Amino acid sequence: MFDRFPDQVSYIDFDEYFIMPKSFEIWNGGKMQERGKTNSSFGVKKVKVKNPEMDNIEVRLSSDLRSLTLPNFASFDMAIRTSDRYLMAVLPLNSNVEFNLAYKAFLGNFPFRTRNRKTFSKYEPNTCSLFFIKGVPSKITFGLPMAEILVEFSI
């Protein structure tokens, strides 16, 4: 269904993507907690900064979800292409979400860290993934480690 990329993980550069999903799902512990329609919109842009390993990617969020309050702005340190998505993430050496086993497992996939410390707020994402169909963004997800949920928005 979603586009596939070469299996080799690689850093990526991109200009800007804009997505206006029509539906959302909220997941916790592998179980869907909520789903519905949405009028949200998201803009993803790679920016030039002095330290390319911190706050290198901006995501503007406009979400109409009533069950959780996503920030209007999120930043991520790096972007890579995996076999099925563009993955943007913050990979701190230390954080306030080390109690979250899924978060710890996720960090275990990366042999490097993008910053020394990060304190996440309750609904601040540590990951953002973009999925494509025929080169067009069709799904965006956010991992919220403090709330221990994954939020998916689809066209």
pLDDT band of residue 134 (cuts 50, 70, 90) is very high
| Domain boundaries of the chain, sorted by first residue | 10-154
Question: Strand runs (DSSP E) across the chain, as ranges?
Answer: 10-11, 16-19, 23-28, 31-37, 41-46, 57-62, 73-76, 78-81, 86-89, 92-95, 115-118, 127-133, 136-144, 149-154
Contacts of residue 51, Cβ cutoff 8 Å, sequence gap at least 6: none
Q: Convert the pLDDT of each residue in 76-105 to its tens digit.
A: 998 888 889 999 999 999 999 989 998 999
Q: Convert the pLDDT of each residue in 2-29 to its tens digit.
A: 888 887 777 887 778 999 999 999 999 8
